[in-house]
Amino acid sequence: MSSDEKLMIITWACPKCGATPDEHGKGGRDSCEYLDNVLSSGQKNCGGFICECDEDGSDDEHGTSFEHPCTNAVCYHCGWNGKFPKKPKGLHAWEKKALDAGWIPPEQRRKELGFK
C-alpha cells in the first residue's frame, strides 16, 4: 500500500461494550465487572479497553486497522479480550483476506457491515 492511500481506521473501543481507554463502557460504573478493583485502587474509572501487547507501542497504527491489528486487546470493563479490530459478521471469504491486505470497502458495503 502506498503512503498516499488511506487505511480504513477503526475507532479504538471495545467491540462488546464500547469502552475506551481509562473509561467505562456500556452501562457505566454500575455494570463494570472490575468495579471492586477500581474502588480499591482509588481510581475514578476502570482501565477500559487497552492493548496488552508486548510491543513498545511505537507503531501509531497498531490496532486501528485490519492491516495493523492488536493481537492482545483487553477490556477491563466487560472482560472481552482478543484480536482487535474484530471483523464483522457477514464477510465473504475474499473480503476477509482483502481487509487484512488493507482494502477499504465501498461506502455502501461499509454501512452494511456496520463500519463508520
In a domain, 43, yes or no: yes
Q: How far, in Å, are 12, 30, 95 from residue 87 at the CA level?
A: 13, 29, 10
Interval 3-18: pLDDT, tens:
434 557 788 999 999 9
Q: What is the pLDDT of residue 51?
A: 94
Cα–Cα distance, 31 to 110 (Å, whole number): 30
To the question of pTM greater than 0.95 for the whole model, the response is no
In a domain, 45, yes or no: yes
In a domain, 79, yes or no: yes
Q: What is the pLDDT of residue 74?
A: 95
In a domain, 85, yes or no: yes
In a domain, 54, yes or no: yes
Q: Facing residues of 80 across strands?
A: none
Q: What is the pLDDT of residue 56?
A: 57
In a domain, 38, yes or no: yes
Interval 9-65: pLDDT, tens:
788 999 999 999 989 999 998 888 888 777 777 777 788 999 999 865 557 778 888
Which residue range is the domain that position 68 belongs to? 28-105
In a domain, 7, yes or no: no
In a domain, 58, yes or no: yes
Q: Which amino acid is at 61?
A: E
Indicate the number of domains in the chain: 1
Mean pLDDT of 96-107: 87
